[in-house]
Amino acid sequence: MHWNIEQILWTLVLTAHLILLIVLLGRDRVGRFPWFTSAVGLSAVCLLADHLLHGKLTTLAFYWQSYTGIALQDIIGLAVLLELVRHVFSSRRTGLIVKPAGWIGWTLFLVAINAAAIWYFGPWPSWQALHADPKQLPLLFVVLFAMKGQLCIALFAVEAALLMRIFGKRFGFGWRSHAQQIALGLSTYAVGFLAVQVITESIKRTVHLTSREQYERIVHLFTNLDNARFALWFLVLLWWIIWLWCDEPATPSAAVLAEAEPVLAGPPPPLEADIPEANQQNDPDLRD
């Protein structure tokens, strides 16, 4: 039996999911990152479902199963990002915390940027396509939500990782903290996902197929891009396995830092010239 590159990558990625879940459970990371653990478990389930049900369902049923799983991963992915930023910016580890006005301002700013990017990037179904087959309209909405949700989560992941990298140390979370490492992995995969999407859309818009050979070359290129994205996901999983197995470096809290600062316990001892003459006369050691 000869395995192709897709089968090898699928096996490696599934194995990495299972090992990561074991690390999260064995090293007591689930309590700190419950949504991240749920996302890893859901990703493993979707991976198994897509592999085992492929070719055994009708096309419409497989689309429902596959894109519903992607939509659920988008929702859980948003919860993971909220979990990470709250873990960093609301922990009070160094006494700093983001106020409600700051949360609202940054949220509105990032949502506006991502909404503009999603609206500009990628094709949208036309009004005629939405009403061409009313029976397939729910499936079309699920597919649209899943695909645009992937793009939105990828943008949020990059932005959240940048904010945590720039301001995380001030809040007591250096780049070696677990939250920073999880965000780094998410943003790395998000950059790869966005790069594949940009290249794919660019090829679709610029290349005009004129022969069967050209079509096969384009399909082969798309397959290689997808394999590269899958390989990047495997490397991210390995990254998480290593860092989440190790403990975070100890970070002193604000109280510890305050206690470590040198503080004068009282005024300096008086010099001999400052001692009153009355005390000098009463003390035999101070008499001439």
Residue 280, in any domain of the structure = no
Residue 277, in any domain of the structure = no
CATH of the domain at 77: 1.20.1070
pLDDT at 11: 92
pLDDT at 253: 47
Residue 272, in any domain of the structure = no
Q: Which residues contact 286 (CB under 8 A, 6 or more apart)?
A: 272, 275, 279, 280
Q: Which residues contact 199 (CB under 8 A, 6 or more apart)?
A: 225
pLDDT at 273: 42
Task: Give the predicted TM-score (pTM) of the model.
Answer: 0.81
Q: 46 is in which domain, residue-wise?
A: 5-252
Residue 269, in any domain of the structure = no
Average pLDDT by stretches of 10, the chain with 288 residues = 81 95 93 94 93 85 92 95 92 80 89 89 74 80 91 94 90 88 95 92 83 86 91 96 88 44 41 44 44
Q: Which amino acid is at 149?
A: G
Residue 282, in any domain of the structure = no
Residue 195, in any domain of the structure = yes
How many structural domains compose the chain?
A: 1
